[in-house]
């Protein structure tokens, strides 16, 4: 696994954490304060961002989470010793799925459940609405197919059953979780990377994620001359993802202790 670096610009060569800052041209000094050679698109995997944000910032309201996300995106436009604006923003693309419109029954008690009325669903709706109000944010929503939602026994409960430490009669609703799988989110993200690269809309893409599934899209963008930066929010990433990016930069505060690797791509 590769530890992240906060160095702006080009990724450090292993094993050192050296810093290099590509500027896109040879301009220097005060002129950089007036010229923006880089046009950046920031793409954010919302599920990944929210998981890391909770680890870094704690519990957030939907509005605060949206502002944190927007601030993270804008921070990638800055660089240099005095935090000059080094790039202009094309757009912030946020990828997520709406709450599942699923009604069913709990596995043991058989009591009814409506996911759309849950606090989690209300939080997500408010989060999406707050994002829609942020400047230059495009919200890309996939879906959670209700036909594929299933109850799953939690790993700890399954281990306890297998070890004989618990009996089936001891299992309760709390020992189950719903298997909710987003569909179309990764596809939309990959298509946007390809579209931005082929149409020449930007010359830099910043991806806030830690998922190695985006390696093919990153390789395509780099072949088109795009400067591809990854922000894994201090999560560790797999070597194959590290290999196919131009820069590694986490702009959010670093989590304390052993939690730094939670939420990394598995």
Give average pLDDT by consecutive 10-residue segment, the chain, 266 residues: 49 38 37 62 98 96 98 88 76 97 95 95 98 97 92 96 95 95 93 96 96 92 96 93 93 75 41
Contact 174, 150 (CB under 8 A): no
Q: How far apart are CA 62 and CA 64, in angstroms?
A: 6
Q: 131-143, pLDDT tens digit by residue?
A: 999 999 999 999 9
Q: Pick the closest to residue 32 from 90, 71, 79, 89 (CA basis).
A: 79
225: tokens are: 């001359």
Percent of the chain with pLDDT over 90: 73
Secondary structure letter of residue 2 according to DSSP: B
> What's residue 78's pLDDT?
87
User: What ranges do the domains of the chain cover?
Assistant: 29-102+128-143+182-261
- Cα dist. 166→108, 154, 160 in Å? 16, 13, 5
What letters, b where the CB count within 10 A reaches 16 and e where it falls short, cover 229-266?
A: bbbbbbbbbbeebbebbbbbbbbbeebeeeebbebbbe
Q: How far apart are CA 205 and CA 208, in angstroms?
A: 10
Superfamily designation of domain 29-102+128-143+182-261: 5'-nuclease (3.40.50.1010)
Q: 193-204, pLDDT tens digit by residue?
A: 999 999 999 999
């Amino acid at each position: 696994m590769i530890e992240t670096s906060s160095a702006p610009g080009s990724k450090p060569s292993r094993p050192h954490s050296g810093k290099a800052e590509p500027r896109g041209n040879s301009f220097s000094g005060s002129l950089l304060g007036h010229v923006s050679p880089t046009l950046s698109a920031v793409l954010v995997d919302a599920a990944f961002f929210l998981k890391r944000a909770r680890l870094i910032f704690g519990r957030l309201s939907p509005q605060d989470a949206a502002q944190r996300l927007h601030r993270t995106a804008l921070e990638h436009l800055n660089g240099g010793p005095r935090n000059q604006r080094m790039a202009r923003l094309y757009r912030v693309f946020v990828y997520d799925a709406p709450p599942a419109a699923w009604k069913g029954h709990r596995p043991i008690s058989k009591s009814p459940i409506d996911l759309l009325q849950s606090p989690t669903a209300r939080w997500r709706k408010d989060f999406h609405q707050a994002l829609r109000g942020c400047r230059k944010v495009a919200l890309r929503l996939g879906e959670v197919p209700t036909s594929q939602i299933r109850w799953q026994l939690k790993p700890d409960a399954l281990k306890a059953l297998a070890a004989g430490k618990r009996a089936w009669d001891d299992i309760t609703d709390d020992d189950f979780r719903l298997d909710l799988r987003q569909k179309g989110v990764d596809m939309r993200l990959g298509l946007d990377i390809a579209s931005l690269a082929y149409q020449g809309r930007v010359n830099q893409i910043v991806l806030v994620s830690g998922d190695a599934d985006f390696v093919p899209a990153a390789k395509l963008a780099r072949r088109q001359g795009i400067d591809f930066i990854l922000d894994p929010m201090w999560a560790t990433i797999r070597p194959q993802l590290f290999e196919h990016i131009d820069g590694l930069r986490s702009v959010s505060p670093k989590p304390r202790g052993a939690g730094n690797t939670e939420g990394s791509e598995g």
